[in-house]
Structure formats: structure tokens, C-alpha cells
A and B are shown apart, each in its own frame.
Chain A
């Protein structure tokens, strides 16, 4: 029998907030109460001054394996996830080979189990090879455990194909997720199209390229009765479209990244590739609209879009460097620092990081659960007020392309518990 005691913390879960200790036995929560005693052989995690919450769930992580192992592997990515407080991540399918068949999906799942640091749930692509031409076998992949399907990295450009995808998926318990980008409008684009790109002399990614596809998929969902999840929303216009779709009662969910609630396009003045990302960093007005969207529930979840890239690929001119930034280890720190002013409490932020994405990912049988006896022990213990700064050398991720060096963050993960076993103790991964 393995026992774990988490003492001195404040428990936050869907039921609310309360001071309590938590005892975990053999992977499940056994007792929640005050002044629980540590017995012999019990491992103790000190949560004084900390929040004890359900483990975070990332709807959007790039683990790069198979195909780009120089940037990250499933093992190093899982470690980074655990350090960031995540007990579950949805692995994006733009690997090489693509996660469009059972063998690749199974490989990713097994590698996640072998690493043992995070519950890795592979997503599937919507089209074979993400080429936008033929649908992947949704039912076969769903039977293998895949719940979220997306061509992320790009959007499905062909409206007829997307309509068929929605229609075909309607009676399967899966979620189609879209990276909304009309490719024809963003050819060669390197940053947001606006005043900054005009003076920096860089080709721009207009907001409308995202909003047109957001609108299209909302309407296709309406037409087909289907369900759609919109990835990394970045513009004020997109937020407003989703707000109206929800008001109309449509099955639409949405996520936003920590960088889209904290960074703007002005940062590209120095042409640093650390700030190049798809969709791009936008204006302060967009940042505020996305924050407001999270605050009023229009945007359901915070998802990192963790996108590691090897250093030499980022040491290229801006138009040649790949887009993307790390996110797993800074998600909490950036979110708390950015959302306080938007009227979100720590409970609201935790909801957006754990039980809301858990529901969308269909993992809410094991993650984002109430902290109560009998529930699986997937937990995050974090200090919600600790101020800190990123030191690239201490990141668990294999790559170091984070834009947050030198930016003050609020909130640090101290311990993470996966199925009752700590994966991070005192900010240090256990493996």
C-alpha cells in the first residue's frame, strides 16, 4: 500500500475552496480533512501556503515525437508538463509520421506510459497526412482512444471536406478541433498584420484570416448539429463570434494560450524569433478581448500550444524560423499574472486549466475531478502568489524557446501527483 499525505494547503476544486489536508492511498484520494496525521511510511508533501487542485489538463501540446525528437521527446515533454502542473496532455498530431492511423497513435500513447510522468492522450488528424484531402478513419481512431481530431499546424481549407467531417462525426463521441487560418490570406506572413508589421517591414497575418474560419466552422456546426472546439483564439473578432455562437446554444468550445493573454505584436520590434508564433501575437485590444473571453466563459480553457523548437532552427531570419514557443512550464505563472486584472480569481484560473479542459478532452473521468474520497489522485500543488522568473537552463523541456525570460510571473507549481504518485516534488521532477 502506498500512502501520500498533502498537508497545509487550500483545496480548490469544482465544489469550491477550503483549507484541508489530503490523504492518498494507492492512487486514489482516501481522505480530505483538517489536521490529518502522517503515519509511518507515509510520504508527506508540504502544501503550506499553497493551493491543492485537480491536475491541469493541456488540450494542446506538441510533443514532437515521432519525427522531431531534436526539439522534444514524449519523455522530455511529459517532464515539462509535470513541472508545469499538468497531469494530462493532449498530444497534437503534426508529428512525422502524422497521428492519422492507429499504429502511430498507439506508439505515442505507449511512449507516454513508458515515461510515466504525465497522462499522454494522442489526438488524431482530421485529414490523412494533414494534407487536407481525405478524412482519417475517425471511428477506428476513436476506438483506439482518440477523442480530439485536428489538423493543427494548419486549418482544413476545403469547406466541403470540413462539412463532411462534421456530418460524419456527428454520431461518434469525438471533438473536431480547428486551427483557424485561411492559408491564402496568410501566405508568407510572419506577424500580426497591423501598424507594427507596417513599420517593421514584415508580411502580416490579418485577423480576418482567423475570423473567417471561426465563422465558417460555427456555421457548419450549426448546419450539421456537430460539435467544434476552436484552438488558440487570438483576435477580438473571434471571441465575439464564439460569444454569439454560445448565446445561440451551439456546441462550440474554445481555448486560448497564455501568450495570447500576455504578449503583443510590438515585441517583434527587435525581430526576435522567440516571438514568432501561429496565430501571431496581436494588439493590446485583442489581448484584452481574449482575457475578457476567459473571464466571462466564452473561452472555456487555457491551452498552452507548447511548441518546442531546436535552437538552431530559431537562429534563422524571422521569415525562415519556425513559429512557436514553449508553454507547459510557464502556463500557470503567466495565467495568474495576466488574468488577475481581468477579474478572474485563482479558482477561475484553475477551472480554465483543469476541469474545463478535462471535460472537452473527455478525460474528466480521471482528471479535473472533485477532490473527494474515491476520486483518482491527479493533483497539482502550487503557490499562487510566488513571484519568479524563467531561467532557461532549469527548464525540463529539451528546447529553450520561451519568450518569458526576464518577465515576472506569478504562481509556481511545487508538487504534481499523477495517479497517486508524485511526478514533481519541490519543483524537481522525480524521474
Chain B
């Protein structure tokens, strides 16, 4: 695997391999000294054109636990604001000797454009509306562990609720969940869905109450306040009434159903109860698993991957 930019590009074999690798990394993280020398001497550069402290810290921690050196490039303090083109920025950093770029950018497709200008591995930490593959991996890892399903998600029912249209998390999750065999249902009004949805491996509904008792996983997406100006929903109150996790809906959940959210949460909007009071919530596990999964990705890209008998 040369890059990790989207679930579709990685493919089912790589996804399974990364989830298995994440088991090893999770074990490393449980030790008193959670560090291995695997990527010693390698340099990982975080290039975040869009602010995200939590994702950046997660990647940085992952790199450091593998003993890699890290560099951070945050756009507000950079020359991009002075008109340096994206290409110049990447080539300048690459010239300093970087083995992997971790990129977050507000423009869909930036990791592919960047791939033309460097030989380093490119990890997509989120591009525009398009993809957030490490989020999808950690979501799959969380579900896999919660239900004890290392073989795949056949028969699992997952509902993704909210602003699918603008969500790179949703797009990557849909790809990954479907790849592993789950039945995915999207719950959203038409204004919050991509313009064309036929061909997507999903069922679509606007009736959250009809599905909420039937699913194994409820995945809540963030409803962004900024969307109000675009006439996508009349107001947030109506959004919460139709699509939010309200106290009434909580009572309808099956006992084993997981509650998931990519964070940060808009309390009172997509989730109208205190999530820490939901027994099915695995939101904190998602964050913990993020490090293990990102360690797996970095190790697979910069360490190795294929099967071979080793000799002592």
C-alpha cells in the first residue's frame, strides 16, 4: 500500500489487514510504556490546512509511539497565506526529508493532487467532503471489538444519521461498513444527502423512529451550525425533532445497540441527552482506538505488509 487516502482506494484486503494490525497496536497501547521502535528514523509530517487539534494529536501520538520523528505544519502560520501554491508548500517540506505526509485539507481531492508532487506516502486525515479513512477504520475497529466480529459485519445493521452530504466521515464509513458486509441505512432529509444516491450501497429513509429500534449501531453525525444559512434545514429545533437522539428515542434503542459519534458533538442538536449516560455509547473508545488504528496505518505504509516466513 503506497498511500492511505480513501477506503475505496485501499481496498478490502488492506482494510482487513489494517484492522488486524490495529489489534497489535492496541496491545502496545495497553502497556505501561506504550512505545515500539518500529518506525525509528522515519519522519512523519502533519500538514493540516484545516484546524483540528484532536485528529492532529492522535496522528502525532501514533507516530511517536512507533518511535518516528514528527513535524507539524499548521497553515495559519505558514506561507500558504502569503500566496505560496500548494505544490510549492509540499515540495519544500518534502525536500526536508519526509517519509509520510498526513494531510487534512478543506478541498476534496487534495491528497490526490499532492500525490503527484511527492514520493512520500500520503495519509488522508480528511479532505473536504470526500473522505476520512482513518476515522472509518477506527469506527470499524470499535464495532469489531464491541461485538467480537473479527470476521466481518455480515448481518449487522448500521444507521448513519445527519448531514451525509457534507460529511467525509459518512462517505468513508459507508464505504467501509458496506465493504465489511454490513447493512447501512442513511437517515437524513433530501437536502442533507448527496445529489445522486442510487449506486450507493445504502437504504435511505427520513423516518428515524422506524429504524432506531432495529439497528445494531446508531452513528450520529455532527449537524453544523453554519448550515443554517444555506436553507438546508429550516431550523435546528426541527432537525433535532426529526433526526436527533432525543430521550424518547433512547428508550426505543435495543439493549445492545452502540451509539457512535465522530466528535465534536453539538449537544442539544444531534444528541439531546448526555452521551455518558447512554450505556451503548462507545464514543470514548472511538477516540482511544483512533491512535491504534493510525499506528497501524503508519506502520503498514512505512514498515511493511506482506506475509513471509521469518528466520531467526
Contacts and interface: CB of A to CB of B under 8 A. Distances in A.
A312 interface: yes
A427 interface: no
Given A271-B108, A315-B87, A318-B108, A193 B195 contact: yes
Given A195-B198, A198-B195, A198-B197, A317 B107 contact: yes
B230 to A, nearest CB: 9
A198 B175 CA distance: 13
Per DSSP, are chain A's interface residues mostly helix, strand or loop, or mixed? Answer: loop
A423 B79 CA distance: 45
B168 A201 contact: yes
Interface residues of B, number: 26
Contact of A315 (B85, B105, B106, B130): B85
A320 B107 contact: yes
B129 interface: yes
Per DSSP, are chain B's interface residues mostly helix, strand or loop, or mixed? Answer: loop
Chain A interface residue count: which class? 20 to 34
Interface of B: 85-88, 105-110, 112-113, 127-131, 168, 171, 194-200
Most A C-beta atoms less than 10 A away, residue of B87, B171, B195: B195
Contacts, number: 72
Given A271-B113, A317-B113, A318-B109, A198 B85 contact: no
Contacts of B88: 312
Given A195-B196, A200-B108, A201-B171, A312 B87 contact: yes
A155 interface: no
B109 A200 contact: yes
Nearest to A320: B107
Given A202-B109, A271-B112, A194 B128 contact: no
B131 A201 contact: yes
Contacts of B107: 317-320
Contacts of B131: 201
A168 B221 CA distance: 54
Contacts of A202: 108-109, 128-130
A202 B195 CA distance: 10
Nearest to A198: B194
20 contacts: A193-B196, A198-B195, A198-B196, A199-B199, A201-B128, A201-B131, A201-B168, A202-B129, A206-B195, A270-B109, A315-B85, A315-B86, A316-B85, A316-B86, A317-B107, A317-B109, A318-B107, A318-B108, A319-B107, A319-B108
B195 A194 contact: yes
B196 A317 contact: no
